């Protein structure tokens, strides 16, 4: 496969993965989707060693193709040299009241993906943190710090982009008092509290989380 064919395949795989994530999570127009990427991992190298803007541009095009269909705001995570700050459009940052920070991502400090996004997105800015509605992690960069609670893993059809491992998740609202909720120490298999008090009467069923 030629270099151009590889880039085209990366673009298509990113588009497919993001669309599957958006469908699984019910992502709506105007919501935030965080993208963590190691372009080094995508080309089969160790994270932080061989970043490439050409690969970043292919990933960016794939995200934009999915964005055109769904209408989310893409948010690109920088590397740890910029404290994993995030590149996004100013309109998105203002909509969500995000705190901005001052830096310009470059491949050696921020990463190739963030550098590409900063130069390509309309009126790009850098935010210190976000609470995104969904996220895709290409190359095990770890995006969990920028996802809302509660994160729900998504297992899509695209397992790897290039050579990079792919994980995805969307966030759902916290379930309070669900069918498996436990309110008494007895139901939880614990000894009675010293005071003899319990926090409720509801019992759990036999469901297991794992």
187: confidence class by pLDDT, cuts 50, 70, 90: confident
The tally of domains found in the chain comes to 2
What was the pLDDT predicted at 208? Answer: 56
Q: Give pairs for 1-9: CB < 8 Å, separation 24+.
A: 3/54, 6/162, 7/54, 7/55, 7/57, 7/58, 8/58, 9/162
Residues 10 and 59 in one domain: yes
DSSP classification of residue 109: B
Apex CA 180: angle with CA 174 and CA 181, to 5°? 65
Residues 166 and 184 in one domain: no
Residues 127 and 89 in one domain: yes
What was the pLDDT predicted at 210? Answer: 58
Residues 117 and 210 in one domain: no
204: confidence class by pLDDT, cuts 50, 70, 90: very low
Residues 105 and 152 in one domain: yes
Q: Which residue has the higher pLDDT, 208 or 160?
A: 160
Residues 139 and 181 in one domain: no
Residues 100 and 7 in one domain: yes
Residues 150 and 194 in one domain: no
pLDDT of 55 > 70? The answer is yes
Residues 82 and 183 in one domain: no
Domain that holds residue 46: 3-171
Q: Which of 23-37, 51-65, 185-199 has the lowest mean pLDDT?
A: 185-199
CATH number reported for the structural domain that contains residue 159 in this entry = 3.40.50.10360
Determine the Cα–Cα distance for residues 32 and 87; give it in Å rounded to an integer. 12
Residues 70 and 16 in one domain: yes
Residues 56 and 149 in one domain: yes
Residues 142 and 201 in one domain: no
Q: Which of 46-50, 65-69, 86-90, 185-189 has the lowest mean pLDDT?
A: 185-189
The reported pTM is 0.85
């Amino acid at each position: 496969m030629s270099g151009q064919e590889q880039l085209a395949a990366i673009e298509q795989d990113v588009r497919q993965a993001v669309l599957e994530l958006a469908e699984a999570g019910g992502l709506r127009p105007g919501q935030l989707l965080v993208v963590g990427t190691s372009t080094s991992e995508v080309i089969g190298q160790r994270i932080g060693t061989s970043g490439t803007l050409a690969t970043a541009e292919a990933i960016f095009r794939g995200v934009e193709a999915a964005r055109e269909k769904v209408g989310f705001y893409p948010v690109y995570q920088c590397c740890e040299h910029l404290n994993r700050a995030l590149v996004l459009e100013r309109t998105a940052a203002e909509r969500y009241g995000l705190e901005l920070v001052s830096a310009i991502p470059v491949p050696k400090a921020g990463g190739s993906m963030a550098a590409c996004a900063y130069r390509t997105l309309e009126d790009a800015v850098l935010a210190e943190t976000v609470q995104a509605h969904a996220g895709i992690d290409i190359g095990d960069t770890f995006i969990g710090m920028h996802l809302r609670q509660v994160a729900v893993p998504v297992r899509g059809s695209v397992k790897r982009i290039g050579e990079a491992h792919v994980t995805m998740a969307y966030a759902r609202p916290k379930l309070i008092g669900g069918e498996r909720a436990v309110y008494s120490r007895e139901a939880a298999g614990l000894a009675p509290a010293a005071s003899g008090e319990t926090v409720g009467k509801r019992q759990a069923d036999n469901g297991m989380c794992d």
